[in-house]
Amino acid sequence: MQLNIFLHELFEYNLDANKKILNKINDLPDQQECVKFVSHLINSQYKWMARIKGDSSQTQMDWWNPLYSFEQLENELQKSTQPWLNYLSEKTEEELLTEVHFIGFDGSEFAATPKDIIVQLNFHSVHHRAQIQTMIRQQGLTPDFLDYIGTRYRRLKAE
């Protein structure tokens, strides 16, 4: 499988899982902390894309702000993922494995491959989605099964 296709599939899974978790967040009596984490995931996708593109405004972008309203989250998830899907459709495997330079948290120049940045974004989302799943359970609801394998396996024999 080509790298860009694999990474595209990861983003598609991640977007779908993040949208599914919104349905459960909608039922929570206290949504505030969950909304904060989903907003953070959105902002992270925007900021890393700005870093990859060499956008100097990325140094002014915040990881946690803006804080979106619950009603904005689904649209912003889609909006923050689409540039990544477009990026992957335009890049060769060689380009995905070639380091890009960006200004980091302390003003220093850093380098990383787009592939590693994309993997980080997806793992980071899994991490925060797990935190949200814990918050859902703490508020008395049962979290949905959102594991990646649940989108891939298939039953071979009906019981």
Calculate helix-pair angle for 114-138, 3-26, nearest 10 degrees: 20
Q: Where are the domains of the chain?
A: 3-149
Displacement of CA 108 from its chain's centroid (Å): 25
pLDDT in tens, 95-113: 999 999 999 989 999 999 9
Rg of the chain (C-alpha set): 17
pLDDT (0 to 100) of residue 130 = 96
Domain covering 3-149 in this structure, CATH number: 1.20.120.450
Place 16 in a pLDDT band, splitting at 50, 70 and 90. Answer: very high
47 phi, psi to nearest 5 deg: -65, -45
Confidence (pTM): 0.94
How would residue 148 be classed by pLDDT, with cut points 50, 70 and 90?
A: confident
Give the mean pLDDT of 62-74.
98
Residue predicted with more confidence, 151 or 26: 26
61: amino acid identity, one letter: M
Query: In the chain, what are the helix, strand and coil shares in percent, each to the nearest 5?
Result: 65, 5, 30
Residue 148 has a CB neighbour count (10 Å cut-off) of 14
